Amino acid sequence: MSKPLKLLIVGICIANFGFLPNGFSKTLPTAKASSFNQNNLISDDIFVNVDAMSVASIQSFLTSKGGFLKDFSENGRSAAQIIYDAAHGYGDGTGTINGIALNSSTGTVSPQIILVTLQKEQGLLTMPTRNDSSLNAAMGYGCPDGSSCNPSYTGFTKQVENGAWQLRYNYEAAFKDDSWRTTYYGSQTFASKPGSVGQTVGLDSYTVTFANAATASLYRYTPHVYNGNYNFYNLFNSYFVTYSHSFVRQNAYPTVGPGQSYNFVLVLKNTGSATWQQDQVNLGTDRSRDRIPAYTREGDGPSGWIKGNRIRFQEASVAPNENATFSFWMRNDGMSIGTYREYFRLVADGIQWMEDYGIYWDVSAVSTADTYRHSFINGSAYPTLSSGESYNLVVRVRNTGTATWQQDQVNLGTDRSRDRIPVFTREGNGPSGWIKGNRIRFQEASVAPGGTATYSFWIKNDGVSPGVYHEYFRLVADGITWMEDYGIYWDVTAI
């Protein structure tokens, strides 16, 4: 649905949204948190993590605070359910205005943000007995400084749903360009486009430069550093140990043939305040959540899996701002040929699923033949041979496939026509290199993917008629496949 235009007008006047009227006095806190940064109140990831709390964990949190909300319900839903639903974009938490669409797919903001706002605005989390005046202005939505609240938005459910919608709307607006914000917000623009130099504004005689969209949203909602966002910051950090992360790196997408394994490696940074413990913060399978992958969860080393849909990190624990390394194996045990997208997502088991960065690998299941690939590196010069003279031909190729080559299995075969017998005698002044009349072995014991194979072999002019002979060769995995045809040949001149 589309949000009615009046909502935008009301939203611009929401709790503490405008500048304080002249003559309005306030008392600023005398003590300041040493870690408080007025330019960066909270990370974007934490702000919009709508899955940060379940209904049960919200209820447990309300109970721990001892306020009357733990027993409160409205229209058949508990306070915990109302908060959860608002975070997930239900009721008045959905709607479209000015091209910003919010719904149950996008959600609004984290339940943690809603809970802290309820306490910041009206102290509802710790209020021991029911107070209807506080309930009617629970999120301060439609309640501008110095005037009464808009009666259209009174009541706990309306306050929570509309307040959550406004916070996410502000967040999305921060990603718009300056001309867009000026059009819709006029001169009082409290949004800054992340990734650019933040807008600098004066609030409560303090200068604020927004570091991210979440901070811009909070100042649009309450444009005060103290008696506003300082209180939000303190409440949030006293209430919640946060589980959050950022992406660092992962290794390449693999190609795996039947029976082959691949070691997946992913590095993530702990950007929350909680220290991660091994086997408690794990990499979970995703899309769908907790699915069992099509590939077998094992390989050539410790599998990394602790069960069918969980992978442990390698470190004993990971403190805030440290990296966690997930190293795990999967094997192709007869998969149908095709590309499989394997999604993963970080989870603090029993607490919350963390941000969804869409972490995945496209894993290509191929035939055994497709695991044998190579590229040409170099070869020796074209020879001229008198009768009775020998020459050592050398060619080097790189294993660009995923199979390890074994000696006498991956060979250099004669070509054009395939498996022909050359006109020159297959011998010389050293080990001939030939294992039969149309096959040459490489010198190494085996050649792993990325390694180089060296084929060194001799030919001899045993009375060949004078002329130039094109001696073609091609790599073959005997019993499996002939590999790419790079036209490897020597022009051998017999004189």
For 307-329, the pLDDT digits (tens) are: 999 999 999 999 999 999 999 99
Query: Are residues 42 and 181 located together in one domain of the fold?
Result: yes
Query: Are residues 263 and 233 located together in one domain of the fold?
Result: no
What is the phi/psi pair of residue 146, to 5°? 80, 5
At 10 the pLDDT is 32
Query: Are residues 211 and 299 located together in one domain of the fold?
Result: no
Query: Are residues 265 and 229 located together in one domain of the fold?
Result: no
At 356 the pLDDT is 84
Per-residue burial over 173-199, b if 16 or more Cβ lie within 10 Å, else e, is bbbbeeebbeebbeeebbbbbbeeebb
Query: Are residues 15 and 136 located together in one domain of the fold?
Result: yes
At 27 the pLDDT is 32
At 201 the pLDDT is 58
Residue span of the structural domain in which 404 resides: 371-494
CATH of the domain at 308: 2.60.40.10
Query: Are residues 257 and 223 located together in one domain of the fold?
Result: no
Parts of the chain with a pLDDT under 70 = 1-34, 177-204, 300-301, 428-430
Query: Are residues 146 and 172 located together in one domain of the fold?
Result: yes
At 46 the pLDDT is 86
Cβ proximity of 460 and 488 under 8 Å = no
Closest among 227, 219, 221 to 24, alpha carbons compared: 227
Q: What does DSSP say about strands 276-277 and 317-318: parallel, antiparallel, or unpaired?
A: antiparallel
Query: Are residues 224 and 332 located together in one domain of the fold?
Result: no
Q: Which of 208, 239, 270 is the last residue of a domain?
A: 239
Query: Are residues 145 and 228 located together in one domain of the fold?
Result: yes
Q: Which two structure tokens, joined as six digits, stand for 315?
A: 């470190």
At 334 the pLDDT is 87
Q: Which of 239, 267, 298 is the last residue of a domain?
A: 239
Query: Are residues 263 and 297 located together in one domain of the fold?
Result: yes
Our count of domains for the chain comes to 3
Using N-to-C axis directions, what is the helix angle for 156-173 and 213-221, rounded to 10°?
Answer: 130
Cβ proximity of 179 and 171 under 8 Å = no
For 86-130, the pLDDT digits (tens) are: 999 999 999 888 889 999 999 999 999 999 999 999 999 999 999
Query: Are residues 264 and 311 located together in one domain of the fold?
Result: yes
Query: Are residues 31 and 68 located together in one domain of the fold?
Result: yes
At 255 the pLDDT is 92
At 88 the pLDDT is 97
CA angle 411, 417, 420 (to 5 degrees): 60
Q: Which of 367, 392, 426 is the last residue of a domain?
A: 367
